[in-house]
Amino acid sequence: MTELGDRNGKVTYKRDPFDPHGGQNFTDAQDDYPQRINRESMSGEFGFRCRFRGYDAYVESNTNRGGRAKIDIYYGPNGPFGPGHHHAVAYRESPFDFVSDELR
């Protein structure tokens, strides 16, 4: 059994050796986006997994072409990078105002 956890010791990913990889292996123990982004967005660079709009998500800090600090959020029914995932973007100074949300 493979188990991964967050820095607080909560298990966030579980998979038996012969189970397929994928979003189904993430547990419900993950925090929602609002809970995590409030803690993380004030720090430097970050990347974390959470729940976003009811789906497993991967959130990371980044910058746009103009150098403005932004937040990239990848989420969807097949996991954050699976087929049919979404890519949402917000700026660091307003992490709840999404400037785009595209289906990939």
Whether pTM exceeds 0.75: no
Give the bridge partners for 75, in sequence order: 57, 86
In whole angstroms, what is the distance from residue 39 CA to residue 50 CA? 13
Residue 40 has pLDDT above 70, yes or no: yes
Name the average pLDDT for the chain.
79
Nearest to 37 by CA among 81, 87, 97, 86: 97
- Phi, psi torsion values for 8, nearest 5 degrees: -95, 0
Which residues have C-beta within 8 Å of that of residue 96, sequence separation ≥ 6? 34, 37, 90
Greater confidence, 50 or 11? 50
The residue type found at 63 is T
With beta carbons less than 8 A apart as the criterion, state whether 59 and 52 touch.
yes
pLDDT confidence of residue 86: 96
How confident is the model over 52-98, as pLDDT tens digits?
998 989 999 999 999 999 999 999 998 899 899 999 999 999 999 99
